[in-house]
Amino acid sequence: MSEEANVQFSEREALLFHSEGRPGKIEIVASKPLTTQRDLALAYSPGVAVPVQAIADDPATAYDYTAKGNLVAVISNGTAILGMGNLGALASKPVMEGKAVLFKRFADVDSIDIELKTEDVDRIIDAVELMEPSFGGINLEDIKAPECFIIEQTLRERMNIPVFHDDQHGTAIITAAGLINACLLTGRKMDEIKVVVNGAGAAAIACTELIKAMGVRQNNVLMCDRKGVITQDREGVNQWQSAHAVATDRRTLTEALVGADVFLGLSAAGALKPEMVKDMAPAPIIFAMANPEPEIRPELAKEVRPDAIVATGRSDYPNQVNNVLGFPFIFRGALDVRATGINEEMKIAAAHAIAELAREQVPEEVALAYGRVHSFGADYIIPAPFDPRLMEVVPAAVAKAAMDSGVATKPILDMAAYRHTLKGRLNPTTSVLTLAYEGARAHPKRVIFAEGEEEVVLRAAIAFRDGGYGTPVLVGRDDVPDRLRALGVSDPESFEVHNSRNSPLVPAMVDFLYSRLQRRGYLRRDAERMVNQDRNIFGSLLLQLGEGDAMITGITRPYAQNMREIRRVIDVAEGRTAFGVHIMVGRSHTVFIADTTVNERPTAEELADIAEQTAQVARRMGHEPRVAFLSYSTFGNPKGAFLDNIRDAVQVLDARQVGFEYEGEMAPDVALNPRQLANYPFARLSGPANILIMPGLQSAHISAKLLRELGGDSMIGPMLMGMEKPVQVAPMTSTASELVTLAVLAAGGIAR
């Protein structure tokens, strides 16, 4: 039922997120070069006339020559926005943009939002039907019942592309997946279970229809609304509800639940009382999917029935019914076979695929993120929402069902190859970053924000705390609470603030710092001055004294100055080399660049260390490392005076017998372009490099900064590696979101 993560944030932070930079959450990016006059001539007139004629001759070629085959319209009229009600088409736009982002993030489906300013069913149907040439699929969203039933059914009859109302069918598919596994665990069969559905809206009816299609008997389902059980002799029910009316003498929810095996709640908070749960059958199955507050909290249900299996729409409980497990991947599979619709067979296939995935061994990165080893059982009947295997498993199942049921117009001949293609469509880094945030919530840490008087830092600290990632420890003066209050924090005194002017830790800090620096020519009063006046020194000492688990700084001073101050307090970890790594994250690729911040002229040993440690980071982020030691020279051509340390670094790795690919020296185009690499058949890289080890700080720093400013990819970092304590130095231009990401990566152990 849920697509949100129950993360807390202020209204101001939400508005800033949507307004900073380019307003909104989506933009159109050209997929072809448009640099020269020739490019423009091919893209538009006169070159465009050729595909126009081809499509006129054969309409199916529109999928070959346009974006239609990977384009979904997210359409709403705003009559049922996220449980907020009828707020109108325009108010629904942020939600529909968000849905478009989820399509792209999870399944590489391009999507555009369309808000229709009407509640007239016929006008909506006409408007959507007329857009069929533009799109490969239609996702209806946040349209109230019963209008949504009429709109979807009519469009499915009239249109030759998939039409899917996610509020109905997305919830139904995930619920069905969980029900399959809950029945398996409790030894039940679908055709024998007795189900009570509380709620008679769009999602409830869709859930009921799907589980009946999967074997649940008509007379074994009692549907209830606010007035009680929907019976055959009851008046005032609409045609969609009456389809599920039964002959029974039970009239209330309490009566309906006596002896019931399953409760499906799509209604209101608190609707299911503990005493009702008591009367259910042994090992009751409870889906309490009202949001944000379920029909019954899992702990209350288990208080009276410890044998219960409970699912909710919330991410802070096990078994989250989250639509994001379904709709992106269902459309992915439907689009890839050019399905003419999404039928019951495809929905059932998706439900079984999701259910089967929950029964498989959970990947290590998912288990680490959620703070426990997930294994199939009462608390794990539905896969984690960010399990990267969903992209491979669900679209393949949907595509096969579309082919088997005759609605696929472009069948897939090699399913194994198709699954491999699916796996490569998304960048694993995006999943790992999401999992890092989940891991931070599962294992919250104390992170020191050394520049706690800066607005961007305070906003990051607020987001860090409200997101449940841990406790921000602020370094600042007496006015920090006032600054927090100005940012909309109602309880600024609840934030932990350390002020060097009155901190009881200062004497211990001075002792610690003086003991480190006294043989470097520093007097005790120098140590006192640094502790009292330098936020980086003070923050680093808080970290050394155990007042925090990690530290972040960098907003107010250049990187090198920050590093000098931190190094007075925190050493490089024994046996490690300190260095910085920038991470370029593209749609389907990630490139790690090191060392971009610390070592001006690294030795061969240092280059080898940097390569090994960066390879470890790459693996923690889901990538198999391929390391290239970069140079202006490729295997000695042209000759140069500064190649020895690079060649020696390769030999150092040879001697260490590391378990990853590496090669050098080589120019960047050889490292990254397969056609160039093919000119060197002896090279040890099996594909383009994803780790670039730079020969020196000058080239590394220039390259990273240029790519950050000019490149199209997202850039994370620099991440500081190799220090004895988790500390990160952010760029001075960092946003609050970027600071939170670095804080999470530092606290979670990915940056170490």
Encoding tokens for residue 384? 């984690």
Binding site for a divalent metal cation, by residue number, is: 141-142, 167, 291
Q: Is the bond into 665 cis (omega within 30 degrees of 0)?
A: yes
Which residues sit in the known binding site for NADP(+)? 81-88
Residue list, annotated binding site: 81-88, 141-142, 167, 291
Residue 487 identity (one-letter amino acid): L
For residue 673, give both structure tokens: 């372009």
Cα distances (Å, whole numbers) of residue 743 to 315, 472, 473, 572, 729: 22, 10, 12, 19, 10
For 154, 162, 175, 446, the CA distances from 157, given in Å and listed in that order, are 5, 10, 26, 56
Closest CA to 47 of 58, 36, 60: 36
* Measured CA angle at 589 (ends 162, 94), to 5 deg: 50
d(CA 447, CA 742): 11
Task: Say if CB 1 and CB 266 are below 8 A apart.
Answer: yes
Q: CA 38 to CA 42: how far, in whole Å?
A: 6
CA-to-CA dists, residue 572 to 167, 604, 622, angstroms:
52, 18, 26
Burial of residue 382, with CB atoms counted within 10 A of its CB: 0-12 exposed, 13-18 middle, 19 or more buried = buried
CA atoms of 591 and 672, how far apart (whole Å): 10
Q: Are strands 590-594 and 579-585 parallel, antiparallel or unpaired?
A: antiparallel
d(Cα 424, Cα 540) in Å, to the nearest integer?
Answer: 41
* Dihedral sign, Cα of residue 410, residue 414, residue 415, residue 416: negative
Strand ranges for 519-570 from DSSP E? 550-553
Contact between 638 and 645 under an 8 Å Cβ cutoff? The reply is no
Nearest to 687 by CA among 612, 583, 586, 591: 591
Give the residues across from 73 on adjacent strands.
112, 138
Say if residues 610 and 700 touch (Cβ distance below 8 Å): no
Q: What sections of 144-231 are H helices per DSSP? A: 147-158, 166-186, 202-213
Residue 59 near residue 160 (C-beta atoms within 8 A): no
Cα–Cα distances in Å, from 430 out to 104, 110, 382, 587, 688?
A: 11, 17, 21, 9, 20
Tokens of 731: 């760029």
Three-state secondary structure call for residue 579: strand
Would you call 77 helix, strand, or coil by DSSP? coil
Q: Hey, which residues are catalytic here?
A: 99
CA–CA gap between residue 435 and residue 198 (Å, rounded): 33
